[in-house]
Amino acid sequence: MSSNRTGEAVYTRLTEDSDDAVEISAPDTRSGNVGNYSAAVDAAGFGRFHAVLLLVCGWANMSDTVEILSVSFLLPQASRDMHITNTEKGVLNSIIFVGMLVGGYCWGSLADVQGRRQVLMYSLSCNALFGFLSSLCQQFPVFLMMRFLSGVGVGGSIPVIFSYFGEFQPSDRRGAMISALATFWMFGNILTAALAWAVIPRQHLGFHSPEGFSYESWRIFIALCCIPAASSVLTFLVMPESPKYLLEKGKSEEALQIMRKIHRWNNPTKNQDDYPINHLVASSKEEKMVMTSNGRSAATDRCGRVRAIIETTSQLFRGPQIRVTAAMLAITFCLSFGFYGLWMWFPEIFNRVEHAGSACGDYNPDSPESLANDTDDNIYRDGFYTSLSNLPGNLLTIFLMDRLGRKFMLTTSLILSGVSVFLIWFLQTRTQVLATSIVFGAISVVSWNTLSVMGVEMYPTNCRTTALGVQSVVNRTAAILGNLLFGVLIELHCSVPMILIAAMLAVGGLVTVLLPNTTRIALK
């Protein structure tokens, strides 16, 4: 990549919008080679470190999935034991998304100012602590508050995990690796369904004290769901900060040391001194100027942090970024509204088919027969099978993401997801509904994985997690609206929410054509 000359070092610099390599002379302040971040990542190689990173970040991503989806499984038992109304059920189903809405933007913006790794540890701790405390709450308002605070933690870790993970990946593997990270949502989904199936229907678990304190099987389920988040905090204690973030903050020496360690991990037969790059330069002067003003971090005081967050956010809505931001937010809203508006209600749909003969049959949840079957294994077994449906979609994403391209994958999966939802209200048997829900799960996960990849690739380092944080706000808002509207509209006729969700997913697929192509392009 470079050669030494007297008084100067010659290195290759890859521009962001061109595939041409340009040789630039720079003062040889150190002996050896100089390179930008893209070259540094390539020089570090790909191997053991990335495998460990995938497991660590994947486990953290899985912990968020468990916390989000656990509510849909505990709802039948919790609603009976805590004597909550149908309206309160809808609030409980949505409250974690309200917390995620708040946490997504705040934590995501802070990660662009304070650092990825530190914010991940804080948000995961928040998730685990308040999730566990919610299992102890005996009164519904307190329980609801704990679930909200747990959601604040979940909303923070999701956007930061993908930024952190993506910034370690070489451009030719980034699509497949971020897709692999997104597959851990599937594992979290399966783990949640398996835990619910194994624990909640077992009425002999738990205890009741003479003082009135109770700890039923569904509370044990909640406590078990906190273990992934708590253990994730420990794993990040041994992980490095993102070198990309450090470099754009002006901390090139720290970034270089981390890259040397990564090189050593990936090449165990070599020493750290064998790393071919001895000096890192920022990808662009503009990014470095934004991240470091006069050599001083804006994060040194609270006012500086707030100003930095506001400035970073404003970049998303001006200049060339505004078109990308508008399209990404529209797609995120459509996908989240459609997915969560249906997925969180699948147990309800399975119940309707079980007791009314079809997804659109008359169903009275307060009837003696319905109450007697609230803990029937069938509901949890169907939820488990639906969770398994994510597997083929995840495999398709990993193998086809870099071959077919992001835009094609996202457009196709969104439109096909809409078609599968539209068919549900025609179905008459539980087997038909289960089969269609499996198809929906397999296809919709492709949309989520592709959107995760594009979210990382569309924005420069200095505003990447802020952009993902803003998207998470829209994501959670849409999830809240989708859940609430589904509950209201299904009482009119189940075809109404199905048609609405199908239309939203199709619109999201059409908006995708407005986005630029990012396949195999270096991160900004």
Q: Is the pLDDT of residue 45 over 80?
A: yes
Work out the percent of the chain whose per-residue pLDDT is above 90. 14
For residues 357 and 327, which has the higher predicted lDDT (pLDDT)? 327
Give the pLDDT of residue 277.
82
> Which pLDDT does position 401 carry in this prediction?
77
H or E stretch covering 427: none
Is pLDDT at 266 greater than 80 in this prediction? yes
Structure tokens at 88: 């309160």
Residue 11, helix vs strand vs coil: strand
Average pLDDT over residues 11-24: 36
Provide Rg for the chain, Cα atoms.
24
Q: Residue 374 pLDDT > 50, yes or no?
A: no
Q: How far apart are CA 296 and CA 216, in angstroms?
A: 53
Cβ distance 126 to 153 under 8 Å? yes
d(CA 161, CA 180): 13
Residue 273 has pLDDT above 50, yes or no: yes
How much is the pLDDT for 10? 33
Tell me the C-alpha distance between 481 and 339, whole Å: 11
Q: Residue 287 above 60 pLDDT?
A: no
List the structure tokens of 334: 């459509």
Amino acid (one-letter) located at 163 = S
Residues 113-155 pLDDT 10s: 777 888 899 999 999 999 999 999 888 899 999 999 998 888 8
Average pLDDT value for residue range 297-304: 52
Binning pLDDT at 50, 70 and 90, where does residue 387 land?
confident
> Quick one: pLDDT at residue 301?
54
DSSP 264-282: HHH-TTS-GGG-SEEEE--
Which pLDDT score, from 0 to 100, does residue 354 have?
64
Q: What is the enclosing helix (H) or strand (E) of 208?
A: strand 207-208
* Band of residue 209 on the pLDDT scale cut at 50, 70, 90: confident
Residue 278, pLDDT > 50, answer: yes
CA distance linking residue 334 with residue 414, whole number of Å = 9
Q: How far apart are CA 439 and CA 421, in angstroms?
A: 9
- Mean per-residue pLDDT over the chain, rounded: 77
**Predicted pLDDT at 21:** 38
What is the reported pLDDT for 96?
A: 85
pLDDT value of residue 57 = 93
pLDDT higher than 50, residue 24? no
55 pLDDT band (50/70/90 cuts)? Answer: very high
For helices 302-315 and 86-114, the axis angle rounded to 10 degrees is 100
Higher pLDDT, 134 or 304: 134
